[in-house]
Amino acid sequence: MSRARWVAVWVLILSSCVAVRVGADEDGVQAVETAWTKAMRANSIDGIMACYAADAVGWFPGAPEAKGDKAIRSFYEGILASNTIHDVAMSDTHYTSVGNLSVGWGKYWIIIIDKASGNPTVWSGRFTEVAEHRDDRWVYVVDHASPEPPKPAAAEPKK
């Protein structure tokens, strides 16, 4: 192959890579998580729901499977009806994206304030999220959270 053809092939390959990189949102599930956190802190049901695909599934602590946007909205409306979200944070997070799919996992904590009593409660646990790039934006298609399990009791020393 002539040098001109090799150069043409490399230009084509590199331009293809650049086109994919520029055309895709590299933030993936992390971008959705950031938007969700902001919406939770704002106590915005519409902002929260903008983070989910219409056919998403949510597995939330202490709740039945929430399949689809109506069930997910109902779950969050139930929380926000009697509580105010004070703060949300993630830790020990990990993210990876391939093409139009992105996954994330880590730990979370949410501080809620009971509207009736004014008492705060901290929810903490682990999460796994899957997002998909749809209609020019990233949205959750799977959101799975579970409470942090209790730490095992310390074993008594043998006598």
Asked if residue 2 has pLDDT above 80, the reply is no
pLDDT of residue 38: 97
pLDDT of residue 159: 67
pLDDT tens-digit series, residues 3-31: 333 323 232 333 333 323 333 444 899 99
In-domain check, residue 20? no
pLDDT of residue 153: 80
The model's pTM is 0.78
In-domain check, residue 109? yes
Tell me the residue range of the domain where 33 lies: 26-147
pLDDT of residue 20: 30
Q: What are phi and psi of 24, to 5 degrees?
A: -105, 140
Strand partners, 89: 109
pLDDT tens-digit series, residues 106-144: 999 999 999 999 999 999 999 999 999 999 999 999 999
In-domain check, residue 3? no
pLDDT band at 48 (very low <50, low <70, confident <90, very high): very high
By the 10 Å C-beta count (0-12 exposed, 13-18 middle, 19+ buried), 94 is classed as exposed
- Tally the domains of the chain: 1
In-domain check, residue 9? no
pLDDT band at 152 (very low <50, low <70, confident <90, very high): confident
In-domain check, residue 104? yes
pLDDT of residue 8: 30
In-domain check, residue 67? yes
pLDDT of residue 148: 87
In-domain check, residue 97? yes
134: CATH: 3.10.450.50
By the 10 Å C-beta count (0-12 exposed, 13-18 middle, 19+ buried), 117 is classed as exposed
In-domain check, residue 66? yes
Sheet holding 83-98, edge to edge: 66-67, 52-59, 137-147, 120-134, 101-114, 83-98
